[in-house]
Structure 1
Amino acid sequence: MTHAKIHPTALVDARAELDSSVEVGPYAVIGPHVQMGAGCSVGPHACIEGHTRIGQNNRFFQFVSIGAAPQDKKYAGEPTRLEIGNDNTFREFVTINTGTTQDQGITRLGDDNWIMAYVHVAHDCQLGSHIILANAVQLAGHVHLGDWVFLGGQTGVHQFVRVGAHAMAAFQTRLPQDVPPFMTVGGNPVAAHGVNAEGLRRRGFSPERIANVKHMQRLLYRQGLALEAVRGQLDALRDEVHDADMQADVHLMQAFLQEATRGIVR
């Protein structure tokens, strides 16, 4: 361990690998298998343990629990992992577990994610980048979230559910099925409510590109087509559009639907 800025009351294992710029607050606990990059800060009473590798410029607020053993009765102490990218924020009482051998053995989070208070990220979850999880979002095991996903407060996501890039779920949504990219969903029982157009505009999508996304939404939800028929229509749409970004959006939707095993939110 290098000479990080560690409060004298913190308990940091000598085998932990912390960059010299890392700051560790009072009464924090950091375990022996933790690696942490430059610019990270760990708040008071935070606990970071397990085989956990953390990138640069991540901020962990007080009372987080990062890298604890998975809440899975089949877990038998295997050295499964947690990997966290760069520039993420984890607010108070966030809990993130390592993976299990029933999956890839790794829980992953990308870059620039904003994880609010009381969020739980269970074992083997795979989170992209630029995600916002509002207060008390609960992710069960093996959940996949694409880039730019936004989940409203107290949303619960069933195990193995996938939420596509740019999708949004409203406050207190229960997600038992997959959510296609670009869509907005909400309610209990959950239903699709259209395209996340405002979010796409904020990310620089052109009006033409948003119109192309809305066309895909009509194929999925307004024409009564089975998923197999939708896939055929998307093949034709990808051949029709010539803009590279639009083609990428169609390909994103096609790849998501190809892997949808739980059915999609209708």
Structure 2
Amino acid sequence: MSAPFVTRFAPSPTGLLHRGHAYSALLAYQAAQAAGGTFILRIEDIDATRARPEFEAAIFEDLAWLGLSWPEPVRRQSLHLADYEAALARLQGEGLVYRCFRTRKEVAQATASAPHGAMDTFRSAPLPAIEEAQRLDRGEPFAWRLSLEAAAARLGGFDQLTFQEEGAGPDGETGLICARPELGGDVVLARKDVGVAYHLAVVVDDALQGVTHVIRGCDLFEAAHVQRLLQALLALPAPVYRHHRLLAGPDGKRYAKRDRAETLQALRAAGLTPERLRQEVGL
């Protein structure tokens, strides 16, 4: 007997939703309805420096306006930090992460000076124990990075690491995909200013909430590679991925919060109906 179909929409309350968000949420909701499954709303608010309660309230209002519903209570990442810290502690205990004391600027410089330039990704290694202890004694900030070298040794390489893609990546990738976590380098899994990072939190959440299908924009296709690695290292189930196209405005640029794309709140105030919006986005 196959597992029940469970998917989710997981926005960050760092701005107002726009047409692109509506498209992704509606796709996931319709997929759950078609499969007789469950659509979950999750609030990804671990970045306390940017998350705002007014944006979270707007998310609920916008999605209700679209006609979506979801089970309660809604999982808020900020209330479940212990789950992510436990996963990080497991990786620490198995020697799969290391402290990196380089600043973002230093990492950028190291990447730019690599043999293949900006296409090369950052990889490093733990500092000698004495130097690390000295830096810790001085209170220097650091990030926990996933060690690809240690991960490859633990799994015997990445050749057998795959994920199922029912949609398409940015270059049309579909079907059984060979995961290539090395493309992301030694990614940050935790940092002092924002705590546990997105990649680790999302794989823990998906597993705890029984998510079987991850439906999201193809801009996150590359994230599936490192997330699949984390699932393997933490012995978590691997969901099916269904990446979709990104909506673009009249100028050809995809809708994005940082570009102040026209919000659902503004569209609603201008008299747009949910039915008309569905037509506009091709649903």
Fold similarity call, TM over 0.5: no
Q: Could you say which structure has the higher helix fraction? A: 2
TM-score (norm 1): 0.24
Q: Could you say which structure has the higher strand fraction? A: 1
